[in-house]
Amino acid sequence: MMVNGTISSLKYSINALRIYKIVVYSVVCLLGAPGNGLVIWFTTFRLEKSVNVVWFLNLAISDFTLALSLPLVITNLALDYHWPFGNFLCKFNWFVFFFNISLSVLQLMVISVDRCICAVFPVWCHNYRTKRLALIVVVIIWVISIALTLPSFIFRKTIVAKNIYCLVNTDIIWVPTVRFVVFFLVPLIVILSCYTVIVLRIKEKSFIKSSKPFKIIVVIVIAFFVCWFPYYLFVLLRIFGPNIKNNYNFFIGSEIASGLMLCNSCINPILYVVIGRDFKQTFCGSFQETFQKVFIEDMDKMNFKKHEQHSSSGLMVVDTSDSLKGLSHQDKAC
């Protein structure tokens, strides 16, 4: 009786977790596809191209493509992990899935670094922060994401048992280890460091008149940590305790964490649009006006004082008190 009860409880938990993932993935797909599609439309056809527009366009493309890969994953879950779409789609769809997750994380890290540089070196940004440089950075993070996601394409395949399953060889330890370092540990350290510098810069120079940027900084860091830390915690447990993957509690925790991790792509537009603006103003105003306010120069909330710098030709005084005005109307800035 005890054995039968345990088996029934295990089956119930597995089905409950499968339904949980179906619900989470469906919500991310339904919110992520139109939300990020809207961002892509406005940043491509309605807004003047700038560095910030390049950043958010790349982030939106990543999250939008990720949302498009989810219907096959949801179908796979609905069919009790049976994969009816063939070996190539098994490889390709999961490659697209993990590639866009990786790209999204690296883009968030780049945005953090960019904001930090804008706060610390406004004159350099005015002179050298160009769209061309932003595009080069985007190409670099694409190459890194593709290179580190290729193992998912190479080692994943369909396996025929009672059903057809789309699985990856989990015995390859170096793959999750590298992904943990590159796509979580390094971005987390960089994001925390950048926003720490920004906060110190704000306090030092009294750049800001309201507390809203502080709230955005806190929310960005907390959202990244909350969404990603549980997932990679279970990745580490799997790396250093290979036998733990057969543990019942480990299975439950890893399934919940994988759904939570995916939510980070869904909430990106909320973090950078709704929270960054008064909700009533955002809701009542036009989408184009909202995107313009957010994407043109999010760092304009900081009122920079006059910055003096000596150049080789003499004393150069740069008034950066209105960074938005000075940066958003020139191709060399933003």
Does 302 score more than 60 pLDDT? no
Q: How many structural domains does the chain have?
A: 1
Q: Find the domain containing 108 and state its range.
A: 14-306
**184 located within any domain:** yes
Torsion sign over Cα 299, 121, 181, 66: positive
Cβ atoms within 10 Å of 54's Cβ, excluding its own: 21
Residue 218 inside a domain? The answer is: yes
Distance between CA 14 and CA 26 in Å, rounded?
Answer: 18
pLDDT tens, position by position, 47-105: 788 888 898 899 889 989 999 999 999 999 999 899 999 999 999 999 999 899 889 88
Q: How do beta strands 164-168 and 156-160 pair?
A: antiparallel
Is 55 in contact with 42 (CB distance < 8 Å)? no
Which is nearest to 198 in space by CA: 218, 183, 228, 226?
Answer: 218
Specify the CATH number for the domain of residue 73. Answer: 1.20.1070.10
Residue 139 scores a pLDDT above 80 = yes
Mean pLDDT across the chain: 77
* Residue 317 in domain: no
Q: pLDDT tens digits for 206-263?
A: 555 555 555 666 676 778 788 888 988 888 887 777 677 677 788 888 889 988 888 8
pLDDT of amino acid 296 = 57
- Cα–Cα distance, 250 to 44 (Å, whole number): 43
**In Å, what is the CA distance from 95 to each residue of 89, 137, 290, 292?**
9, 22, 33, 33
Q: Is residue 326 part of a domain?
A: no
> For position 299, what pLDDT does the model report?
44
Residue 322 falls inside a structural domain: no
Whether 315 is covered by a domain: the verdict is: no
Round to whole Å and give the CA distance between 125 and 309.
13
CB burial of residue 25 (10 Å; 0-12, 13-18, 19+): buried
Residue 1 resides in a domain? no
Question: According to the model, what pLDDT value does residue 75 have?
Answer: 95
**pLDDT reading at 138 higher than 90:** yes
Q: Report the predicted TM-score, pTM, of the whole model to 2 decimal places.
A: 0.78
* Region for 325 from its dihedrals, namely left if φ exceeds 0, alpha if ψ lies in -120 to 50, beta otherwise: alpha
> What per-residue confidence (pLDDT) applies to 164?
92
| DSSP codes joined into one string, 307-324 | EEEEETTEEEEE--TTHH
How much of the chain exceeds pLDDT 70, in percent? Answer: 70
Domain assignment present for residue 198? The answer is yes
Which of these, 68, 80, 70, lies nearest to 37 by C-alpha position? 68
